[in-house]
Amino acid sequence: MFLDNIKSPGDVKTLHTEDLKILARELREEIISVCSKNGGHLASSLGVVELTIALLKSFDIENSDKIIWDVGHQSYSYKILTCRKDNFATIRKLGGISGFPSISESKYDVFGTGHAGTSISAALGISVAQDFLKKDGSGRVIAVIGDASISNGIALEGLNHAGALKKDIVVILNDNEMSISKNVGAISNYLNKIMSGDFYQSFRKDAEKLLKSIPLFGNQVARFASKFEESLKNLMVPGIIFEELGFTYIGPIDGHNITHLLNTFENIKKIKKPILLHVITQKGKGYEPSEKNPSLFHGISAFDKNTGLTLKKTGNVFYGEIASNFLINLAKKDNKIIAVTAAMTDGTGLSKFSKAFPERFFDVGIAEGHAATFAAGAAISGLRPFVFIYSTFLQRSLDQIIHDICLQNLPVIFCIDRAGIAGEDGATHQGLFDISFLNYIPNLTFMSPKDEYELMQMIKSALSYDKPVAIRYPKIEVPYFELPGTDEAAMINEGEFEVLQNYDENIVISIGAPHTGLIKNILYEINKNTPDENRKVGLINARFISPISHKLINKIKKAKKIMTVEENVEYSGFGSKLLTVLSQNVRALNIEYKILSLKNGYIEHGSRKELLANAGFSEEGLRDSINLFFNNVNNEKIKIGYSSF
Show the DSSP H helices in 95-217 as ranges. 119-133, 153-165, 186-196, 198-212
Catalytic residue among 28, 57, 84, 283: 283
DSSP 98: -
Is 396 designated active site?
yes
Q: Choose the weakest-confidence range: 499-513, 583-597, 607-621.
A: 583-597
- The secondary element (H helix, E strand) that includes residue 233 is helix 218-236
Please pick, among 396, 475, 555, 608, the residue that the annotation labels catalytic: 396
User: Cα(119)–Cα(67) distance, rounded to whole angstroms?
Assistant: 9
In this prediction, residue 642 carries a pLDDT of 29
Which amino acid makes up residue 215? P
What is the rounded end-to-end Cα distance, in angstroms, of the chain? 67
Q: Are 146 and 176 in contact (CB under 8 A)?
A: yes
Residue 450: closest CA among 402, 495, 392, 509: 509
Instruction: Show me where the domains of the chain are located.
Output: 3-291, 318-479, 498-644
Q: Do domains 3-291 and 498-644 have the same CATH topology?
A: yes
Q: Which of 368, 424, 452, 592 is catalytic?
A: 368
535-544: per-residue pLDDT in tens?
A: 999 999 999 9
- pLDDT value of position 180: 34
Mean pLDDT within 255-274: 95
Report the pLDDT value the prediction gives residue 309, as an integer from 0 to 100. Answer: 87
Query: Residue 42, SS3?
Result: helix
Average pLDDT of the segment spanning 197-222: 60
Q: What whole-number distance in Å separates Cα of residue 227 and Cα of residue 208?
A: 12
| Tens of pLDDT, residues 372-422 | 999 999 999 999 999 999 999 999 999 999 999 999 999 999 999 999 999
Task: Give the amino acid at 483.
Answer: L
pLDDT tier, 189 (very low <50, low <70, confident <90, very high otherwise): low
Query: Of 19-28, 74-83, 234-243, which range is least confident?
Result: 234-243
User: What's the half-sphere exposure (Cβ side, CA atoms, 13 Å) at 207?
Assistant: 13
The phi, psi pair for 84, rounded to 5°, reads -120, 15
Asked if 408 and 435 touch (Cβ cutoff 8 Å), the reply is: no
Strands, E assignment, 300-382: 316-318, 337-341, 361-363
Torsion of CA 95, 97, 99, 100, to 10 degrees: 120
- How far is Cα 280 from Cα 263, in angstroms, rounded to an integer? 16
Asked if 368 is an active-site residue, the reply is: yes
pTM: 0.87
pLDDT in tens, 317-343: 999 999 999 999 999 999 999 999 999
- Write the class of the CATH domain 3-291: alpha beta
Band (pLDDT 50/70/90 cuts) for residue 178 is: very low
Residue 403 and residue 375 in contact, taking contact as beta carbons nearer than 8 Å: no
Whether the predicted pLDDT of 59 surpasses 80: yes
Show the CA angle centred on residue 188, arms to residues 187 and 193, nearest 5°.
100
Q: How far apart are CA 373 and CA 345, in angstroms?
A: 18
**pLDDT given at position 202:** 65
Task: Give 386's DSSP letter.
Answer: E
Beta-carbon contacts of residue 570 (< 8 Å; ≥ 6 apart): 576, 595, 597, 598, 599, 600
What angle do the packed helices 452-465 and 319-333 form, to 10 degrees? 40
Burial 583-603, CB ≥16 within 10 A → b, else e: beebeebebbbbbbbbeeeeb
Question: What would you measure as the largest C-alpha separation in the chain, in angstroms?
Answer: 104
Residue spans of alpha helices (H) in 421-546: 434-438, 452-465, 515-528
- 3-state SS assignment for residue 353: helix
* pLDDT tens track for 545-604: 999 999 999 999 889 999 999 999 999 999 999 999 998 876 656 789 999 999 899 999
CATH of domain 498-644: 3.40.50.920
As assigned by CATH, the class of the 318-479 domain is: alpha beta
